[in-house]
Structure 1
């Protein structure tokens, strides 16, 4: 594969922003090069003048309209309310039915943040303390009523409510100048209207966000669910989590929880207002429940209606990688790409307080054996850092005893660490995802830790509720899978979210419960740096500092392989490294 890093301008700097991009299938050599995960990057720019925000979206080659595409996914969408959702596949689906102020337009290896509901990606004349957005003409909800600026303000206001604690917190935190933003403003149900000194609406078209300090990354945050518009009169609160207000090219026709979802064309969506999405097929039919083995077999065979079927997030079944990736015909039904994610095994630092025990977990962890259960090298390269190579400023570093650990694990060395610390036989509760692959991966990890002198209790966890259960402060677990992809390609959405001890709370992503006063202070210092290159370099140093305390075990920098039926065209990845559903069409 060619390796061609491309420099990218961030919002207010000329420094490089790296975001992992795609390549053709062929991961058989993966896992041999520790820097491979940064090998391919795409250009990420910001549409300031609005030229790329104008619809319609560029046509996909050979596309045609009509028909139904089937989507197979092991579980239902957990949260349908954009204010709550954080999961990548869930957000991909929600972005088909709910628009935001900004969104990402992908053309080949070029990614541009553009205006979605807005005419451009945002305007600021004071270095990022104030951001102004003007809504496009002709944007409507699926019921035909126009989308107006006060609906966006109300959506942001409701995101402050404790009902939506799992949602992305950036806009609320920045407006409130507090991590505990609900105490500053509890949302519209208890606190009335969000004040104009925070968000001001001028007529039906203009909305202005006001911050006490520069927020140059705000255009990226504006692409998250908090800006998906909600008319106050139609806010059904918790009921929105199953019946959201829709404004994208598709709307919900039917939904049987945990079984199926039917999306059909939204006749009130105007392609002239949307430079990102298409409306090629008449409908999408989601079948929830099939595990990755069944998905692989059905799409590979493409018999009957399965020829019109695609996977959204699941990879090729681990036991089928060699067959699929080395079969020229099947390989044409696969897209393959490094993600922007890092997979970790989080250590619950409030329960596992002894650094020696955490080091022993790191040394004993059988990365190679565990990865083999998920597809071996096709799964991605072994990780040694907490942040992804796709974020600005990432650089591989050396930390003796931490980054030079044998990927197979070193049970004898780990056992000595435990023995010297008087902790041999330490009990570990291992939470794992109760899927066929998760069972095998959990068993491999348990065997590796047992060899090192740990007593391991395996705790099966349901796939649909895994994240919600893990992200409770009192989860009664010691060791569990976790993963994080930057919400945009800088460390701003990584280290402050995952390792700021002041953010330990139910539903928040600091699920290691790591709390170090020096690290907290360093995060505050780095966030005040407005030069993107300097800030990225400092975040990389912080990564190394955090790893000295071993709050988690870096596992892999994942790749993702998605399959599609023989009659499905337009298969590509979206910004979440999930199937870009609105690009799909049927060939005949």
Structure 2
């Protein structure tokens, strides 16, 4: 999944996906909205979530693919058939438990067919019963690739037994067009409250996929507004949105009276409200958290501490948490760019990339560790990509200049670097890359996107030559990194590149290698095949690895039961957090 990212802890990472860096907060002069005397573990009060300057791009469950949003939504408003428990044990924390289903699913054929029975005592926020048909409809929305953009639909395209058409995409085009509806109806079936998913090949870790992501969540057909549903929240969790979500400002979640804790073993739902605030810069958030002022006493954040605050950690040592995340940051040459159609130009960029300068500008070894693959080392079967093993962390300027001389692009080679910017740290890091690239002979234009990011770079015709990405395994498998990012058959459409932000097309050789890795049932042998695909990506310079992200967080002194989901994403676990006064 993308970042706002997922975790890397000592063990495994879960989801991925696409990191959206976000930060928010309230002003110091706002009065506290918490009252009462709530001891640790007690219900009541208002918790604050500082969501930062990187705004939420989707609340639509089928479009979500950012670790922060997946984490928050799954703890507050959305439930699925199964979920991960609130546990930091590396095994227990990544083992699904029943949520809206009566069990964790059954399969009698090694994972080609999965069945789940929906509980008969769970409801939507308006009191309507959650049905098998709601789950079927939620799955169907993934196939509307011209409307439901940005999510992890590629997994269904790969596994679900829906035929592929001449365009290389599923014959089913989603519930709005209904083209190929009969094909989908054979693949996902309902028998009373029992839903069955029919796969074209075995998917033994299907429940982990469902627990990690939100794309198989139920959805109400009668309330679906297509693209206009992007910020609509139809809750079946302990909280519901009060009023509307305001992009750039946020919203408030209040108790959902149609949720029953008797049906939910995961979410404690301690605060009466969760107030989400978007828009504040990271520095403004951490000034409040360090000072522990007013509402900040009741606050948590997904924003990483800016490096300029590291020397102030002793002021709040008891509220400080460091977590090694499951995310890898990387840059990608755009294969649609006239410059980077030439392999020599891409190789020159890789040789010129100074990851050491990027890391230093971002806070040094307290904030990052060098990466040598797009796969995080915590993922089982990880292997360092040989294409990047011999390039110094500082880059090789002499080799880069020599390779750039072979580049067919007009000299100087002008490139635009589009990145997730708007903060002093991200801009410093981008400037560090520019300095190294320019020293090798490129002429780099920096293009920071301060608000919406992924929705821009996921457009195949987006105007950039190089872009930034962040990813962590959707669950502990290399197969949740390589295909979601670089399998053109499931990513590239006329409207979106999915998560293949560099528009990479590996061709028959890469497609065949991916298929062979998928087909391998022995996990160790499969990991070796995935490593082989990764090596080919390195040869093609489909990406250039930068670093493994380390999370540094603070929370307010009135927050109780603070815990991070270190087994899955590294973010604050809103399922167990409360507040006191």
- Are 1:67 and 2:45 matched, yes or no? yes
Name stretches of at least 5 consecutive residues in structure 1 with no aligned partner: 1-18, 23-39, 45-60
- Are 1:244 and 2:228 matched, yes or no? no
Alignment partner, residue 41 of structure 1: 11
- Are 1:448 and 2:439 matched, yes or no? no
Alignment partner, residue 50 of structure 1: none
Whether the aligned pair in 2 keeps the contact of 1:501 and 1:510 (CA below 8 Å) is: yes
Most deviating of 498-507 and 330-339: 498-507
Alignment partner, residue 289 of structure 2: 299
Q: Deviations over 1:62-89 (max 9, x none)?
A: 4121100111122432111101111112
How far off is 1:103 after superposition? 1.3
Pick the aligned partner of 2:570 from 571, 574, 577.
Answer: 577
CA distance in 2, matches of 1:20, 1:460: 25
Whether the aligned pair in 1 keeps the contact of 2:342 and 2:408 (CA below 8 Å) is: no
TM, length-normalised to structure 1:
0.85
Task: Indicate the SS of the match to 1:583.
Answer: coil
Alignment partner, residue 481 of structure 1: 468
How far off is 1:195 after superposition? 4.7
- Are 1:184 and 2:171 matched, yes or no? yes
Alignment partner, residue 82 of structure 1: 61
Alignment partner, residue 418 of structure 1: 404
Whether the aligned pair in 2 keeps the contact of 1:562 and 1:579 (CA below 8 Å) is: no
- Are 1:317 and 2:306 matched, yes or no? yes
Shift of the 195–310 alpha-carbon distance from structure 1 to 2, 3 Å rule, reads: closer
How far off is 1:183 after superposition? 4.8
CA distance in 1, matches of 2:498, 2:324: 25
Task: Indicate the SS of the match to 1:369.
Answer: helix
Pick the aligned partner of 2:391 from 389, 394, 405.
Answer: 405
- Are 1:490 and 2:477 matched, yes or no? yes
- Are 1:275 and 2:275 matched, yes or no? no
- Are 1:220 and 2:208 matched, yes or no? yes
Pick the aligned partner of 2:152 from 160, 164, 168.
Answer: 168
CA distance in 2, matches of 1:218, 1:252: 30
How far off is 1:427 after superposition? 1.5
- Are 1:542 and 2:525 matched, yes or no? no
CA distance in 1, matches of 2:368, 2:401: 28
Q: Deviations over 1:135-166 (max 9, x none)?
A: 12421111122111111111112222231132
TM, length-normalised to structure 2:
0.86
Shift of the 195–425 alpha-carbon distance from structure 1 to 2, 3 Å rule, reads: closer
Whether the aligned pair in 1 keeps the contact of 2:150 and 2:458 (CA below 8 Å) is: no
Whether the aligned pair in 2 keeps the contact of 1:259 and 1:289 (CA below 8 Å) is: yes
Whether the aligned pair in 2 keeps the contact of 1:137 and 1:273 (CA below 8 Å) is: no
Q: Deviations over 1:150-198 (max 9, x none)?
A: 1111111222223113221112442224496865112222215775421
Task: Indicate the SS of the match to 2:350.
Answer: helix
Shift of the 452–490 alpha-carbon distance from structure 1 to 2, 3 Å rule, reads: same
How far off is 1:561 after superposition? 1.7
- Are 1:430 and 2:417 matched, yes or no? yes
Alignment coverage as a number of residue pairs:
529
Pick the aligned partner of 2:544 from 536, 550, 553.
Answer: 553
Shift of the 297–43 alpha-carbon distance from structure 1 to 2, 3 Å rule, reads: closer
Shift of the 507–468 alpha-carbon distance from structure 1 to 2, 3 Å rule, reads: farther
How far off is 1:217 after superposition? 2.4
Q: Deviations over 1:59-116 (max 9, x none)?
A: xx94121100111122432111101111112222321211111211132323121222
Pick the aligned partner of 2:506 from 516, 537, 543.
Answer: 516
Shift of the 523–173 alpha-carbon distance from structure 1 to 2, 3 Å rule, reads: closer
CA distance in 2, matches of 1:100, 1:113: 11
Alignment partner, residue 92 of structure 1: 71
- Are 1:394 and 2:382 matched, yes or no? yes
Q: Deviations over 1:475-528 (max 9, x none)?
A: 121111111112111122211121223332314111122222211110011111
Whether the aligned pair in 2 keeps the contact of 1:21 and 1:339 (CA below 8 Å) is: yes
Q: Deviations over 1:525-554 (max 9, x none)?
A: 111112222211221222122212222210
Q: Deviations over 1:419-468 (max 9, x none)?
A: 3557663221111233122222221111111111111122232x332111
Alignment partner, residue 32 of structure 1: none
- Are 1:113 and 2:102 matched, yes or no? no
Whether the aligned pair in 1 keeps the contact of 2:297 and 2:557 (CA below 8 Å) is: yes
Whether the aligned pair in 1 keeps the contact of 2:57 and 2:455 (CA below 8 Å) is: no
Whether the aligned pair in 1 keeps the contact of 2:59 and 2:233 (CA below 8 Å) is: yes
Task: Indicate the SS of the match to 1:279.
Answer: coil
Shift of the 207–277 alpha-carbon distance from structure 1 to 2, 3 Å rule, reads: same
Pick the aligned partner of 1:261 from 251, 268, 273.
Answer: 251
Name stretches of at least 5 consecutive residues in structure 2 with no aligned partner: 1-5, 15-38
CA distance in 1, matches of 2:7, 2:107: 28
How far off is 1:406 after superposition? 2.0
Whether the aligned pair in 2 keeps the contact of 1:418 and 1:453 (CA below 8 Å) is: yes
Task: Indicate the SS of the match to 2:390.
Answer: coil
RMSD of Structure 2 on Structure 1 (CA): 2.2
The 5 A counterparts of 1:120-135 are 120-135=103-118
CA distance in 1, matches of 2:548, 2:8: 13
